[in-house]
């Protein structure tokens, strides 16, 4: 009798995926804790609360500021159930066997992905990762101080323009800073050529000397929304928020090319609650959660319908030039993971630029 | 005596675990290369050489020492008269004043620093250094006042009366009696202000407007961003040596003051 039941159960379970849906019983997770580690200012907390309520779980939600910091913590053995690294870091995590594959029976919402985030090189079949937000890196600027044509004509060269001295924010991230310099010089953002990196370093030092920029992280969002400075290097999602708060601001995706980045949800190999993590990822990819999150933080949704609705007529970001990332421009690049020696070398060179 | 010694075991264990062990690890990291196995170490001095041969790092070190020094001097300049004033009040008022002084210390430093950021935002012309300086003086001033106040308050009032008796005016009494006898207070105040000031990294980060780097920020960068624990440890160790040296010097100052 008991055996018969097991066989029946196994049969049902085997057939479930065929039916196209894995029924999740929320009661299964009651009282569990899910450890989620995400970027700062990157979620609508009410979505998290709703998830907690629906599944009777507690989400331990913490935030970090950089991929490098996340990497160090993971190496120290910290266990998280869901993390949201960027493309190149996911590549590194996969190479080091630090991730576990998504359970495609649970995470079915991947079919709702927008065109721009399908088949990405770091994980072409989404074996490990589910794109969360995507973005370009660009310049947000005050059109009352810098006319649109002037900025578009300069692109990254604006960071060498003496006229803006003392009126500039630069994002404190070594990888992005080097990307800006390398693109301005016409190199690849993934270069490992000794001379090109030296050139890029010189470019950044010149920027430091001519502009005396303020090096900031997330505080750039509020500061630019208040119009405290003329221009800032920002991620397009932050720019979308800034533009919606301050109508004098505009966003420039430099003609020299830039970095297109995707932050995706992944499950570390040492996750304590992988099944619930899959359920969480599925929940976050869904239309409702994607809509709420994108409305709240301004980053471009990876959900095709949300992206279209929010940027379309009547959407929250209608006419907002920063919301939808530029896709398909030949000079734009995604980051690939740098060899180990450069992983430490870039932050070192960058620290010296800022301390000079 | 022996049983008393036994009571200190937990304390010794505490020191060994949380003070000595981390210091040993920092030392170990500082004199090795990265990528060590658990058993094999490759010893090197290049972390120190790298710091000392780079003008950028030396500049940061100099800036840190300079601002910590200025902070300490200003804390004495403001703190001494304040302590003197408080010590001159009736006993009950003194307790109240000291309470008022320590009250802000109950609030998280991060919070206070954020508040200063908001205040200083209204003054666009201030340089980053002045902003950091204001934040530091504000944060560390209570330590200075309390130390000096304790030293002055425990002075025997009869000493002053004796000085007046011998014909000294109040100014001379202060110079010859109160000031010399309160030097130990000033010195422990210096220790409590200079040391945290020289290694502070939150205040420069929040108030420096993003272009003011102190040694504490460098250490943070190498640990958290570059992931270069060896070089970060070397900087920490250089920092620790400077702190030990300055403690030794103030101690020396203390003993000479006492001998006088």
CA angle A100, A102, A105 (to 5 degrees): 145
* Average pLDDT of the residues of chain A: 90
Go through chain B and tell me how many residues it has: 260
Domain residue ranges of chain B, discontinuous segments joined by +: 56-259
Tell me the percentage of chain A whose pLDDT exceeds 70.
94
Which pLDDT score, from 0 to 100, does residue A144 have? 96
CA distance B210 to A354: 9
Which pLDDT score, from 0 to 100, does residue A19 have? 45
Q: Say if CB A259 and CB A332 are below 8 A apart.
A: yes
Chain A contact set for B221 (CB, 8 A): 347, 351
pLDDT at A21 over 60: no
pLDDT at B42 over 80: no
Q: Which of B210, B226, B227 sits opposite A351 (nearest CB)?
A: B226
Quote the tokens at residue A348: 């070192």
Which pLDDT score, from 0 to 100, does residue A18 have? 46
| Mean pLDDT, range A303-324, rounded to an integer | 91
pLDDT at B240 over 80: yes
Quote the tokens at residue B156: 């025997």
Chain A contact set for B206 (CB, 8 A): none
* Nearest chain B CA: its distance from A190 CA (Å): 18
> What is this structure's pTM?
0.81
pLDDT at B156 over 80: yes
pLDDT at A96 over 70: yes
Which pLDDT score, from 0 to 100, does residue B36 have? 52
Name the least confident of A78-92, A146-160, A289-303, B171-185: B171-185
Return the SS3 of B69.
helix
Give start and end residues of each alpha helix (H) in chain A. Answer: 2-15, 45-55, 67-75, 87-95, 148-154, 174-184, 194-211, 219-225, 236-245, 274-285, 287-297, 304-311, 340-355
pLDDT at A1 over 60: no
Which pLDDT score, from 0 to 100, does residue B2 have? 64
Which pLDDT score, from 0 to 100, does residue A16 have? 47
Which pLDDT score, from 0 to 100, does residue A309 have? 93
Q: Which residue has the higher pLDDT, B7 or A244?
A: A244
Give start and end residues of each alpha helix (H) in B31-90. Answer: 46-52, 55-87
| Mean pLDDT, range B169-185, rounded to an integer | 89
Q: Which of A215, A343, A347 sits opposite B211 (nearest CB)?
A: A215
| Contact assignment for A355 to B213 by CB distance below 8 Å | yes
Q: Give the Cβ contact number of residue B111 at 10 Å.
A: 10
Q: Find the residue in B nearest to A348 (Cα).
A: B226
Q: Find the residue in A nearest to B222 (Cα).
A: A348
| DSSP structural state of residue B43 | B
Q: Is A216 on the interface with B (CB under 8 A)?
A: yes
* Nearest chain B CA: its distance from A25 CA (Å): 41
pLDDT at A147 over 70: yes
Q: Indicate the pairing of strand A33-39 with strand A58-64.
A: parallel
Q: Which of B56, B209, B225 sits opposite A347 (nearest CB)?
A: B225
Torsion angle, alpha carbons of B82, B83, B88, B89, to 10 = 80
Q: How confident is the model at residue B1 (pLDDT cuts 50, 70, 90)?
A: low
In CATH, the architecture of B56-259 is: Orthogonal Bundle (1.10)
Name the least confident of A42-46, A100-104, A211-215, B5-9: B5-9
Residues A249-302 have pLDDT tens digits of 999 999 999 999 999 999 999 999 999 999 999 999 999 999 999 999 989 999
Chain B contact set for A212 (CB, 8 A): 211
> Which residues of chain B approach chain A closer than 8 Å at the C-beta?
34, 54, 56-57, 59-60, 209-211, 213, 218, 221-222, 224-228, 231
* Nearest chain B CA: its distance from A69 CA (Å): 6
pLDDT at A206 over 80: yes
CA distance A179 to A174: 8
Q: What domains are there in chain A, each with its CATH number?
A: 24-132+263-311 (3.40.190.10), 135-260+324-355 (3.40.190.10)
Write out the H or E segment, with its range, that includes residue B132.
helix B128-153
| Contact assignment for B222 to A351 by CB distance below 8 Å | yes
* Nearest chain B CA: its distance from A345 CA (Å): 8
User: How much is the ipTM here?
Assistant: 0.76
Between A174-184 and A67-75, two packed helices, what is the crossing angle to 10 degrees? 140
CA distance B221 to A351: 7
Residue in the structure block whose two tokens are 């902070």:
B71
Determine the straight-line distance between the first and last CA of chain A, rounded to whole angstroms: 77
Cα A207 to the center of its chain, rounded Å: 26
Q: Find the residue in B nearest to A229 (Cα).
A: B124
* Nearest chain A CA: its distance from B64 CA (Å): 12
| Contact assignment for A347 to B221 by CB distance below 8 Å | yes
Residues A170-192 have pLDDT tens digits of 998 889 999 999 999 999 999 99
Go through chain A and tell me how many residues it has: 356
* Nearest chain B CA: its distance from A214 CA (Å): 4
């Amino acid at each position: 009798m008991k055996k018969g039941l097991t066989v029946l159960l196994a049969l049902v379970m085997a057939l479930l995926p065929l039916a196209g849906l894995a029924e999740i019983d929320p009661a299964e997770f009651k009282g569990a804790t899910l450890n989620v580690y995400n970027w700062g200012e990157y979620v609508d907390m009410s979505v998290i609360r709703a998830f907690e309520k629906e599944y009777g779980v507690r989400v331990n939600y913490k935030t970090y500021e950089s991929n490098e910091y996340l990497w160090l913590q993971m190496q120290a053995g910290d266990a998280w159930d869901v993390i949201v690294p960027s493309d190149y870091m996911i590549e590194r995590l996969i190479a080091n066997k630090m991730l576990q594959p998504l359970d495609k029976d649970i995470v079915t919402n991947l079919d709702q992905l927008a065109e721009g985030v399908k088949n990405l090189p770091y994980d072409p079949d989404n074996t490990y990762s589910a794109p969360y937000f995507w973005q370009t890196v660009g310049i947000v600027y005050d059109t009352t101080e810098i006319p649109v044509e002037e900025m578009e004509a300069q692109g990254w060269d604006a960071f060498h323009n003496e006229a803006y001295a003392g009126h500039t924010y630069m994002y404190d991230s070594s990888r992005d800073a080097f990307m800006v310099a390398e693109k301005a010089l016409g190199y690849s953002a993934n270069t490992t050529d000794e001379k090109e990196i030296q050139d890029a370093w010189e470019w950044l030092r010149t920027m430091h000397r001519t502009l005396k920029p303020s090096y900031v992280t997330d505080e750039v969002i509020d500061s630019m929304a208040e119009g405290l400075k003329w221009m800032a290097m920002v991620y397009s999602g932050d720019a979308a928020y800034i533009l919606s708060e301050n109508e004098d601001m505009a966003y420039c995706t430099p003609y020299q090319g830039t970095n297109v980045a995707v932050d995706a949800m992944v499950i570390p190999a040492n996750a304590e609650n992988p099944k619930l993590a899959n359920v969480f990822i599925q929940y976050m990819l869904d239309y409702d959660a994607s809509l709420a999150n994108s409305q709240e933080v301004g980053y471009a949704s990876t959900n095709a319908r949300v992206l279209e609705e929010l940027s379309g007529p009547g959407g929250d970001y209608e006419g907002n030039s920063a919301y939808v990332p530029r896709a398909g421009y030949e000079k734009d690049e995604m980051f690939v993971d740098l060899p180990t020696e450069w992983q430490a070398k870039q932050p070192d060179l960058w620290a010296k630029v800022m301390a000079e | 005596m022996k049983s008393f010694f036994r009571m200190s075991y937990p304390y010794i264990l505490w020191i060994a675990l949380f003070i000595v062990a981390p210091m040993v690890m920092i030392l170990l990291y500082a004199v090795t290369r990265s990528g060590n196995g658990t058993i094999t170490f490759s010893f090197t001095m290049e972390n120190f050489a790298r710091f000392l041969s780079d003008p950028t790092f030396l500049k940061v070190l100099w800036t840190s020492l300079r601002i910590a020094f200025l902070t300490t001097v200003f804390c004495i300049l403001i703190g001494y008269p304040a302590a003197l004033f408080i010590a001159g009040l009736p006993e009950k008022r003194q307790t109240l004043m000291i309470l008022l002084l320590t009250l802000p210390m109950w609030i998280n430093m991060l919070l206070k620093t954020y508040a200063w950021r908001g205040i200083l935002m209204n003054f666009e012309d201030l340089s980053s250094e002045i902003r950091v300086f204001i934040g530091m003086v504000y944060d560390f001033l209570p330590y200075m006042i309390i130390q000096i106040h304790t030293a002055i308050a425990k002075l025997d009032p009869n000493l002053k009366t004796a000085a007046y008796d011998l014909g000294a005016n109040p100014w001379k009494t202060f110079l010859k009696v109160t000031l010399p006898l309160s030097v130990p207070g000033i010195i422990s105040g210096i220790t409590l202000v200079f040391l945290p000031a020289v290694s502070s990294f939150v205040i420069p980060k929040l108030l420096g407007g993003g272009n003011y780097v102190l040694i504490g920020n460098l250490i943070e960068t190498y640990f958290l961003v570059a992931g270069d624990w060896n070089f970060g440890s070397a900087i920490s160790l250089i920092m620790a040596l400077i702190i030990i040296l300055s403690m030794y010097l103030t101690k020396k100052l203390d003993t000479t003051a006492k001998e006088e």
